[in-house]
Structure 1
Amino acid sequence: LAIFIYYAVLMPQKQWITLDIGVWESPFIYRPDKRQEAWRFVSYMFVHAGVQHIIGNLVMQLVLGIPLELVHKGLRVGLVYLAGVIGGSLASSIFDPQLALVGASGGGYALMGGYFMNVLVNFRQMVPLFGVFRLAFILIIVGTDVGFALYRRFLVEGAVLRVSFVAHIAGGLAGMTIGYVVFNCYDQKLLKDPRFWASILAYFACVVFAVIFNIFLSPAS
């Protein structure tokens, strides 16, 4: 939020509405032409495309993050969140290699993916109406946010700067794997759960592939 305010207020531009050149020059944004600056694969989560974007991310993180932290504590939630952020940027660099990336949607969708899987798995143990409400709530948030991301990506005419939405999908997948395992074994020792190590190994293999792709195969080179 502080970084958003800096670009929106201290560097006057159209940032309250949409991306502008001041954000494009930020050292935080992920840009394919500067992907050798490895911190950008993580720091892009601090920069947002406009007021709608940051409000959506904040609401998602507060609504999901606070309840998850109350049950699973900050370390586990942070692990899932960071897995979504890194997975989102690496996936975007492969499947949308010519576009920039901003926002914390990868991390937010990782939390949502883990939460969604837990609701599905434990649905029979819930009060039916409560379970339906939780699923509907998640689907409404996802539909709204993804719809807005697709609108910015494909339908905004004359947009000078376009940003990728692939991080939403990759973050959700990270949450449905690593997030599901982490949140599902809240009453167990995480390091003793073989599912955790299986998901970590699979995630690590994807990261290694993405790194090799960016070094040797990326069309953005």
Structure 2
Amino acid sequence: MLEFFVARLPDQVYRFWTAIFIHAGIIHLLITIIFQYTIMRPLEKLAGCIRVMIIYIVSGFVGSLASALFLRDSVQVGPGGGQFAILACYLSELFLGWRSLKRPWAGFFKIIICLLLLFTVGLLPLVDNYSQCFGFLTGFMLNMTVFPDVSYKKNVRRLVVITAALATTIALFIVLITLFYTLPVECPSCELLNCSFGSSCRNYTYNSV
């Protein structure tokens, strides 16, 4: 990464984007590959790669922004926000089509297991649970916007859902970006949600790299 133009001034917005494509190691990369092939690929076949890409990238960007806000001095990488967003899409569609499924609980528990596994990975150094949580929220909202025709048949109801979901997503982004640049969050205890390995996590901070 390039140096800041002004010391300690976060003027490199592209880092929110590039962090999505960087991994903490070969195991982290393998997890992403397995996720994309087994979970993300079927959704692309169903909804199309453009829609899935929008949700994956935008949610990953918002997740990186949340990570930078709550863990300002920590180094965090990976597409966790996008991955949680994809699972949020599955969960949203599962709830909307619950009555039409023969075994909805089976699908529900599969999604929960995937969420728990990825959340556990987020407790490791360089991987961030704040990114994943905010990515999940963004993905859930974007699913209502990008896939509105899957479950909503009435035009008025569809318009209300799209408007509310899109407004919530935009509001979330504005709040995060405003807080990041105007009111830095000082929260030492926030690291507990992100990394439970104490000293090992402190080796990956701004001051140590």
- The normalised TM-score by structure 1 is 0.71
| Cα distance in 2, alignment partners of residues 105 and 170 from structure 1 | 10
- Are the aligned partners of 1:181 and 1:195 in contact in 2 as well (CA < 8 Å)? yes
Greater alpha carbon shift after TM alignment, 192-201 vs 62-71? 192-201
1:176 alignment partner in structure 2: 140
Is the contact between residue 23 and residue 78 of structure 2 (CA under 8 Å) also seen in structure 1? yes
Judge conservation of contact 2:56–2:82 (CA < 8 Å) in 1. yes
1:48 to 23, 43, 46: 23
For structure 1, the residue ranges without an aligned partner over 5 or more in a row are: 1-25, 28-32, 154-161
Q: Which amino acid aligns with 1:178?
A: L
Provide the alpha-carbon RMSD of the alignment. Answer: 2.5
Count of paired positions: 178
| Conserved? CA contact 1:35–1:41, under 8 Å | no
| Match of residue 209 from structure 1 | 175
Selected match of 1:218 from 173, 184, 191: 184
Runs of 4 or more above 6 Å deviation: 187-190
Q: CA deviation at 1:182?
A: 2.6
Q: Tell me the residue number matched to 1:77.
A: 52
Q: Which moved more, 1:92-101 or 1:141-150?
A: 92-101
Contact 2:96 2:151 in 1 (8 A): no
Aligned to 2:193: none
* AA in 2 matched with 1:170: F
Partner of 1:18: none
3-state secondary structure, aligned to 2:48: helix
Amino acid at match of 2:141: T
Letter in 2 for 1:215: Y
Instruction: Give the alignment of 1:90-169 within 5 angstroms.
Output: 90-128=65-103, 131-150=104-123, 152-153=124-125, 162-169=126-133
- Deviation per CA, 1:103-142: give whole Å up to 9, x if none: 01111111111111211221221112xx233222212221
TM-score by length of 2: 0.75
